[in-house]
Structure formats: structure tokens, C-alpha cells
Amino acid sequence: MKVYSLQINLRLGDIQHNIEKIFSYIKNIEKNSLVLLPEMFSSGFDNENLEKHVKETPYIYKQLKQFSKEKNAVISGTLPEKSRGNIYNKAFIIDKGEIIYKQAKVKLFKPTGEDKFYKAGKTFDVAETSAGNLGIMICFELRFPNISYILRKKGVEIILVPAQWGKPRKMHFEVLSKARAIEDQCFLVASNTIGKIGDIEYAGSSGIYSPWGETLAFIDNEEGLIEADINLSEVYRIRNQIKMDI
């Protein structure tokens, strides 16, 4: 199966520009593949204008669902979404044209004030999809091994990490992405942003890692769509080779 991770620079608050750029990168992906987009890829963290941006989210879902159906693909990322009067940074999984799973960010990043604009989620789960059993750790959540432990217990095969991870912590993103793959003996796909977006500069360093911790694909300081061919049987080969009771 082909797996993709997109790394781009976003234009803060410019949804039309950002969505057009994303589709320019992913339009030629293989059918029956998996694509991960960055965290908050429609608007970036344009937090002062979230009430406006959440109104665009249903239309973005419509576009992604159509694309997913045409490509028979699984697509994931996060978007701002309003529910019961609260705004969430919400991850989604679209499988063959249908939204099959959503998960709000639980661990909000307080140093940049996320807790002032977003309501925290509560739960983590694994979604059964045509691309395998997928779990999601949104950006800052990558630092919490107890979260990946929950996903492992639930049978995760691929961990998805949509992120906007800051450049001062670049090395942390690379090390933790590989560590989560190794400790949970699963594939991990990380999609970050790059360059300056608003007042923050982002780390890049998006990657695709094997259950053995091998770097299957990596992109450092530029925009681009990286890809790797994976076989989910590798998850069970590694887990049988080194048994970790959980």
C-alpha cells in the first residue's frame, strides 16, 4: 500500500489558497492509498478568526470526500470544527468518500494559547479502515507515550501525526516520531508544516517510519509530498519477533 505525507507552508487564514495548494500536491496520488495532511491545514492557527473558519469546514469536507471517493483513498488531517457552542481542533478520517471517524485534540498546547480558543477532546480510539487500523496523535500529543500505549492496546497498525510543530523543538519531533513507531511496533506517518506561518516558524521534518524504526521517507526544510510503500504484515512480524505484553 502506498502511504503519503504532505509538508507545506500555509498562508494564515487564507483557506482558498491553502486548499488549492494541498490539492495541487495530492491530485496525482495512487488509488487505494493513504494520505496524511498537516494539523489545521485549512487556516493555520488563525485563532482570532475561528468563528469564520469553522463555517468553511463543511465545504472542505465535501471536497475531500469527493477526492477520496475518486481515488478510493483514505485521507486524514485536522480542521477547526464547532460543536455545541465549542470549537475543536478535530482530526478526521475519510475512507472511500465517507467520514468514518473524528477525534478532537485532547492535549492542547498551552504555550501558544490553544487552551484559550479550543475545547479539549476526551478520548482516543483506533479506526478500522481500508488502509488498516489507524490511530491519531495530534501534534503535542506525540509527547505522551501513554496515548500511544492506549492505541497499541486497541490494535493500532498505523499511527497518524498531523502537526504544526515549532522549529525550536525540531529534534524532538524527529526523535519522538521514530520512538513512537519503535515502542508500539507499528508504522507512523507524521505530517508537519514548514516555514513561518503568522508569528511562528515550523520545524518541517515530516516522515514515514516502519515498526522497526526505519526511516522510509523524510523531508526536512522544504515543501513536498513524501511517499512510501508499506505492508501491514510487517507490524505483526516485528511484534512476533520481539513480544511486548501489554
pLDDT digit string, tens, across residues 101-156: 999 999 999 999 999 999 999 999 999 999 999 999 999 999 999 999 999 999 99
Nearest to 45 by CA among 12, 16, 90: 12
CA nearest neighbour of 107 among 76, 149, 152, 137? 137
Q: Is 61 exposed, middle or buried (0-12, 13-18, 19+ CB in 10 A)?
A: middle
State how far the Cα of 108 lies from the Cα of 116, in Å rounded to an integer.
9
For residue 171, being part of any structural domain is answered with yes
Residue 246 lies in a domain: no
CATH code of the domain in which 61 resides: 3.60.110.10
Is pLDDT at 246 greater than 70 in this prediction? Answer: no
pLDDT digits (tens, 9 = 90+) for 48-99: 999 999 999 999 999 999 999 999 999 999 999 999 999 999 999 999 999 9
Q: What's the rounded Cα separation, in Å, for the pair 24 and 110?
A: 33
Q: What total number of domains does the chain contain?
A: 1
Mean pLDDT of the chain: 97
Residue 46 maps to a domain: yes
133: β partners: 128
8 Å CB contact between 159 and 5 = no
Count of CA atoms in the C-beta half-sphere (13 A) of 65: 12
Residue with cell 513480544: 243
| 179 belongs to a structural domain | yes
Residue 199 lies in domain: 2-241
206 is a domain residue = yes
What average pLDDT does range 8-35 have in this prediction?
Answer: 98
Where residue 148 falls (left for φ over 0; alpha for ψ -120 to 50; beta otherwise) is: alpha
Mark out the alpha helices in 3-56 (DSSP H runs). 15-26, 50-53
What predicted TM-score, i.e. pTM, was given to this entire model?
0.97
Query: What is the C-alpha separation between 130 and 44, in angstroms, rounded?
Result: 29
The cell for 88 is 475543536
112 located within any domain: yes
Q: At how many degrees (to 10) do helices 57-71 and 15-26 cross? A: 10
Q: Is 172 within a domain?
A: yes
In a domain, 194, yes or no: yes
Strands (E), 150-235: 158-162, 187-191, 194-197, 200-203, 206-209, 215-219, 224-229
Q: From CA 63, how far away is CA 59, in angstroms rounded?
A: 6
Band of pLDDT at residue 244, cut at 50, 70 and 90 = confident
**Quick check: 161 pLDDT over 70?**
yes
